[in-house]
Amino acid sequence: MTESFSLLDVTTGVDLTPWIISYEWSGDLEQAGRKLNFKIAYTTKDQAWTNPTVNLGDEIMLYCIAPTAGGQFDLFHGKIFMQSRESSSYEMEFVAYDKLIYLAKSKYTLKFSKAPVKDVLSTVASKAGLTLGRVADDLTYTVDFVADGMTGTEIIKKALFQGRKKSGKSYHIYLDAQDKLNVVRTDTIIQGYAITDMTNLTTASHSASIEDMVNRVEITDKDGHVIGAVTNSNDVKAYGTIQGVYKVDNKQDTQASAKALLKSVSEHSEVEALGNIQCIAGYAVEIQEEQLKGNFLIVSDSHTIENNRHMMKLTLRYLDPEAKPKITTEGNTSGGGITIGNIDEGMSSGEAAWLGATMDNGTEGCVEAATKVGSYYSQFLAQEQQAGVVNVDTLCADAGDQVIDFDASQLEKGDVIVYGDNDHVVIYDGQGGYIGNSSSQDMVVHGSDYNEMGSLTPSKIIKTSRI
């Protein structure tokens, strides 16, 4: 074997390698950071034995020495979060996480206005003392949103989701041993390497099932009348129709909720192979095996090093741009069963559903009222309602360039009127009045004059009549 592994306790300066029994270095797409489990030989029964001093909070560094590949590669830098030992055993176990765990556990309030996404990543990373490393080339867009009490990783995921909407691609973050935050596009294939049953593969497994499939969802109104449907056309063609039903909930985005009920083929692929330190979650790898052939996204990885033998287990998902489900819609699939874009019908339905209702946020529920009523005709307001947006700053930031300075001549039915310094919002009814939350009455009202808002005056328009 040409590679070896060593572990340094950076805090104490002690090389722990002579005491190491095993390592498990792992990561997952759903995991905030990478993790290192390691076991050391430990006993109090042998007076001649010297135990190392390893404490919670110690910084550790795992590195690989591979002379044929160019020398030393730092793999993991993190802090010990857990230690455990059974008195009957001759070992002690430790669990360490890299510094991404601090972003996952810490909440922040930040506002981004037309901010380059790399600046967002850098700003959030700096909160945990991290710097920006390698970033996917296509992350060149700007974002507008308010992060109100969101964790650092939630902020990063929200910013990267904008990229998914623009490119259709997904992204994964990970931390290298130099505490640099890297962003990889999840179709990035490890070059010059493949896992094959003729070379480095030991076992492979693959299962597929349609037992839980739902490929068509009918949408019904409150009276049980079918008003629309969403369908995975590819799955219907291949496997026949397996149908579910979604009943309209005025408080939910109908189309999104119905689509969420669709379930396609359930697949699980896994390989065990000789270890390669490049194979980590977020990257894709070529597999050539009897059942598994092609390029696969690494969903999770677990590298085990014991007696200096490096093996890995990878959970995989087939990487095929042509395999995306074809989702079609029929009839009315927007909030409340009213086709989004039909402002007259949508506003009438939204008003009927919410007029006189007290908002969850009480007297502070102006955004809540606007998104609930507006979800019946505006895709943007439906999305904001679904996302739980409840403050004016966030609403304006998310609307981006659809926010204009107030000009009465630019008002259209269905637009949101913003007052003061983002102090209040209502929906314009097209006739000089408004629908919105009244703080004095603590309910949704239909007022006759949008200019009669106490001391507040209109300052902006969100063109929700068009989005």
Evaluated on CA atoms 142, 297, 6, 83, the torsion sign reads: positive
d(CA 82, CA 70): 33
Q: Which residues make beta-bridge pairs with 404?
A: 461
Give the fold, CATH level 3, of 338-462.
endopeptidase fold (from Nostoc punctiforme) (3.90.1720)
Provide the pLDDT for residue 67: 73
Q: State in words which class domain 102-185 has.
A: alpha beta
| The two domains 102-185 and 338-462 share their CATH topology (first three levels equal) | no
The residue behind tokens 């894709």 is: 284
pLDDT value at position 251? Answer: 61
**436 DSSP β-pair partners:** 445
Alpha-carbon distance 369 to 354, whole Å? 8
- The CATH H-level superfamily of 4-98 is Baseplate protein-like domain - beta roll fold (2.30.300.10)
Q: At 381, phi and psi to the nearest 5?
A: -65, -35
Spatial distance between the Cα atoms of 230 and 327, rounded to a whole number of angstroms: 7
Reading the chain (467 residues) residue by residue, the pLDDT tens digits are 478 999 999 999 999 999 999 999 999 998 879 999 999 999 888 888 899 999 999 999 999 988 766 778 999 999 999 999 987 889 999 999 999 999 999 999 999 988 999 999 999 999 999 999 999 988 888 888 888 889 999 999 989 987 776 667 889 999 999 999 999 999 999 999 999 999 999 999 988 899 999 999 988 887 788 777 888 888 888 899 999 999 887 666 677 788 889 888 888 899 999 999 999 999 999 999 988 899 999 999 999 999 879 999 999 998 864 445 666 665 555 544 334 446 887 788 778 778 888 888 888 899 999 998 898 888 889 888 878 888 999 999 999 889 999 999 899 999 999 999 999 999 999 999 999 998 888 889 999 899 988 889 999 999 998 87
Look at residue 190 and give its three-state secondary structure: strand
- Whether 376 and 334 have beta carbons less than 8 Å apart is answered as yes
Asked if 216 and 233 touch (Cβ cutoff 8 Å), the reply is: no
How do the domains of the chain map onto residue ranges?
4-98, 102-185, 209-265+325-331, 338-462
Residues forming beta bridges with residue 108, ordered by sequence position: 150
pTM of the model: 0.65
Look at residue 282 in the predicted model and tell me its pLDDT: 94
Asked if 229 and 219 touch (Cβ cutoff 8 Å), the reply is yes
- Given a contact cutoff of 8 angstroms between Cβ atoms, the answer to whether 426 and 366 are in contact is yes
